[in-house]
Amino acid sequence: MKALVVYESLWGNTAAIARAIAEGIGPGARALSTAEASGAVVADADLLVAGSPVLAFSLPTDKMRESVRTGPGKAPSPPDLSHPSMRSWLGALPKGHAVAAAFETRIWWSPGGATGAILAGLANAGYRTIAKAQRFIVSGTYGPLREGEVERARRWGAELAKTVG
Ligand SMILES: Cc1cc2nc3c(=O)[nH]c(=O)nc-3n(C[C@H](O)[C@H](O)[C@H](O)COP(=O)(O)O)c2cc1C
């Protein structure tokens, strides 16, 4: 099975979860940023998993990304804006027929979320959802991930692999 775990990640938390999910899925899986996951790369995947952080209660907008780039913020490191937003990646995603799943990283108490918009974008491109969307929790605004979340992501990856078969 060929699987891709595609992510947007400004401070690395979502990227770390994406890598753990890919490990859990197994040797046929790779974690790629939205810049690396071109239409041609995605085209022959059997399973497509997509994830992003929740910023300002939703899937990050380009306006939000611009505001974290220019804003004062208290970030421990500058945001990684080298890859496009998940939102724009989904907008450009060519039609596909594979199965799909979505995840987000976030603080535990926030309203809103990103996976609804991710799943809608995947469905719009023809992908069929096969699992309940997952939330992985950070302990502070910029991270780190809560203890146990990386292991949970690995387990979820293994479950997805079983579901796809
Ligand atoms: C400017 C900013 C806004 C955020 N807004 C939310 C939010 O509305 N809800 C939430 O659950 N988490 C929010 N967070 C927490 C991020 O979702 C969390 O740190 C995420 O893991 C970052 O992912 P990344 O390291 O892959 O970029 C926010 C973080 C920042 C820096």
pLDDT in tens, the chain (165 residues): 899 999 999 999 999 999 999 999 999 999 999 999 999 999 999 999 999 999 999 999 999 999 998 877 788 899 999 999 999 999 999 999 999 999 999 999 999 999 999 999 999 999 999 999 999 999 999 999 999 999 999 999 999 999 998
Superfamily of domain 3-164: Flavodoxin domain (3.40.50.360)
Query: Rounded to an integer, what distance in angstroms lies between the CA atom of residue 25 and that of residue 164?
Result: 10
Q: Assign 157 to helix, strand or coil.
A: helix
Q: Which residues form the pocket of ligand 1, taking CB atoms under 6 Å from any ligand atom?
A: 9-15, 53-57, 68, 105-107, 110, 112, 138, 141-143
Mutate to test the pocket of ligand 1, among 57, 106, 134, 138 (most ligand atoms within 8 A of CB): 106
Which atom of ligand 1 has the smallest separation from the CA of 64?
Answer: 1
Cα(164) to centroid(ligand 1), Å:
30
Task: Find all residues with CB under 8 Å of 27, minimum gap 6, and list them.
Answer: none
Ligand 1, atom 5: nearest CA belongs to which residue? 55
CA of 53 to the centre of ligand 1 (A): 6
Whether the predicted model's global pTM rises above the 0.75 cut: yes
Q: What is the CA(106)–ligand 1 centre distance, in A?
A: 5
CA dist., res. 130 & res. 164, Å (int): 8
What are the distances in angstroms from CA 70 to CA 24, 81, 127, 143?
36, 12, 35, 20
What residue spans define the domains of the chain?
A: 3-164
162 alpha carbon – ligand 1 mean position (Å): 30
